[in-house]
Amino acid sequence: MSLAVLTVIVASLMAAQRLPGQPGDSDARVAGQVVDALSRAPLPGATVVLTPIGPGLPPPVAYTPQAVTDANGQFVFQRVFSGRYQLQAQKPGFAPLTGLFEQRTLDIAAGQSITGLEL
């Protein structure tokens, strides 16, 4: 095998490798519940948005996961890319949620499972 061919093969294999936790890993999970700020009652039908804000992630236009809460106000995001995100909840008929507890910044690692969040 010629040196040029071997160099191309090795370079291709190295380019295909990613280190664990490098942006692009999409095996993380984020879950929680949206509740009414006053009554603490679950909010079904709320839209939860996970907006990428960290370097190395696809731009928000191309990748902004959304979930709608179930009857118990629960939401789940599966196969989330590792990186930094802003988590927000919104529901028609409710004031925009922009306070500290309704909007969070999450640093998500590859393979991580973040549960029990409350918005």
The domain covering 22-118 belongs, at the CATH homologous superfamily level, to: Immunoglobulins (2.60.40.10)
Residues with Cβ within 8 Å of 40's Cβ and at least 6 positions away in sequence, in order, are none
Adjacency order of strands within the sheet including 47-52: 66-68, 47-52, 83-90, 103-108
Predicted structure pTM score: 0.71
Which residue matches tokens 């519940």? 33
Q: Identify the pLDDT of residue 61.
A: 61
Which residues share a beta bridge with 118?
33
Give the model's pLDDT for residue 76.
98
For residue range 27-69, what is the model confidence (pLDDT) as tens digits?
Answer: 899 999 999 888 999 999 999 999 888 776 666 666 788 999 9
Please choose, from the candidates 52, 23, 15, 16, the residue with its C-alpha nearest in 3D space to the C-alpha of residue 110: 23
